[in-house]
Structure 1
């Protein structure tokens, strides 16, 4: 029955590439040109933050940034490089209300982060401040986290972390300014913590884009204080900064 319903839906609404609208062979797929335009992050990469290396390396290596300043989280992975191709998808998803992109985008994240998901007890999205949530109408990180939970069968909660103050946009800020901007901006919501005891839990923190890591670092700190034994980070995309390669 499910198969026949799918055939009927495809006849009424032919499947189209979720990036450009070109006809494709199945729902929720990218066409060949759009797929080849995305830059997926694969090995070799930093064993701590997932930064992609341009050259092949033997063994496990850390990037220069992680060697100089190890991140607060235990491990980070991103599916895509944040560039023109991925930016168009991400902005379409979170600013053009294209919620139908959540499942295929989360699918890319699940494929890249399958090892992290296999070790995860609880998926937690980076929260929006309530005023920004009202204006945007949804939290893109929470929508991705829910889709990841559905794909992987892992527990999740959208309310564990709370943004206690509305911070200015991080756009255009330096690494140090971003860190100051979000310092003290998050807390673990007491009622949610009671429902989801964090002691000895392996938490997967989900966001759409990793830039300097200031936001996930701030979230990691409060999760660690609440008792989480490990915190990993999974994002859809990340900014790749020249000069962050292996040392």
Structure 2
């Protein structure tokens, strides 16, 4: 680890000379290849307080009683208590977050993973005891086509920052599914039914474990819900969802 860091620090000036650091959002020059320019940092929407104690959904004025700040629960979680044990989202989904996600996932800019992981890890609760980081899986056909699992890369970085163990193959896709965009809640659930399961080889490690379930974006929550259900049915004690960005809507 020390040798790797020394090599990285030694060659960093040469890399910066050949490939000048640029902001991944606007393209302006940077002092180092570690994040965004000061102007673009301000375009990200970072979740704040007060927030739902179950899912960290930000609550607007008038949605809560300040005397009950420690027990605040949003309307979706009240109506249908979630299976998960919390959501840690680095950002709320907006144009800036969308551009970063598209560059990362579809543009192949995997070097963004450390920055996305830092923003996500900052929102994690205090992790008492031993925890495992498990990414949302890709089906092998999609993995071959894309070349990498964006959630797995993010989980790798988060595991280093949170000092948790990475179990990259804790969950598996048992069959390929079409893209969920444009589908309603019921259609998404039907599409994903039986498509994700716990890897039998990792069952002993996952049983009774506290798990950080990692995804890049939480949209409707359909995929993560299937993952949480599979982990809990296999004996996982706690499952906290960690994502870089979260679409505020039905996701809970």
Instruction: Give yes or no for the alignment of 1:66 onto 2:77.
Output: yes
Instruction: Give yes or no for the alignment of 1:108 onto 2:108.
Output: no
- Secondary structure at the aligned position of 1:187 is classed as strand
Structure 1 residue 200, shift from structure 2 partner:
2.1
Name which of structure 1's ranges 83-92 and 144-153 shifts more when overlaid on structure 2.
144-153
Cα pair 1:16 1:28 within 8 Å, conserved: no
Instruction: Give yes or no for the alignment of 1:158 onto 2:157.
Output: no
Taking structure 1 as reference, are residues 192 and 100 closer, same or farther at Cα in structure 2, changes over 3 Å only?
Answer: same
Q: Runs in 1 of length 4+ with deviation above 6 angstroms?
A: none
Q: Distance in 2 between matches of 1:96 and 1:28?
A: 18
Cα pair 1:209 1:235 within 8 Å, conserved: yes
Aligned residues: 241
Q: Distance in 2 between matches of 1:170 and 1:118?
A: 35
Residue from 134, 138, 146 that aligns with 2:156: 146
Structure 1 residue 9, shift from structure 2 partner:
4.2
Match in the other structure for 2:230: 222
Match in the other structure for 2:58: 52
Q: Distance in 2 between matches of 1:119 and 1:239?
A: 30
- By relative contact order (CA 8 Å, sep 6+), the higher-ranking structure is 1
The CA deviation string for residues 156-203 of structure 1, in whole angstroms up to 9 with x for no partner, is 111110111111211011122222221221111112334xx2232101
Q: Distance in 2 between matches of 1:25 and 1:112?
A: 26
- Secondary structure at the aligned position of 1:223 is classed as helix
Taking structure 1 as reference, are residues 136 and 116 closer, same or farther at Cα in structure 2, changes over 3 Å only?
Answer: farther
Match in the other structure for 1:199: 207
Match in the other structure for 1:84: 95
Runs of 5+ consecutive residues of structure 2 not aligned to the other structure: none
Q: Distance in 1 between matches of 2:110 and 2:158?
A: 14
Match in the other structure for 2:34: 28
Cα pair 1:109 1:235 within 8 Å, conserved: yes
Structure 1 residue 42, shift from structure 2 partner:
1.6
Structure 1 residue 221, shift from structure 2 partner:
1.1
Q: Distance in 1 between matches of 2:104 and 2:247?
A: 18
TM-score, structure 1 length as denominator?
Answer: 0.89
Instruction: Give yes or no for the alignment of 1:212 onto 2:223.
Output: no
Instruction: Give yes or no for the alignment of 1:16 onto 2:22.
Output: yes
Taking structure 1 as reference, are residues 68 and 145 closer, same or farther at Cα in structure 2, changes over 3 Å only?
Answer: same
- Secondary structure at the aligned position of 1:228 is classed as coil
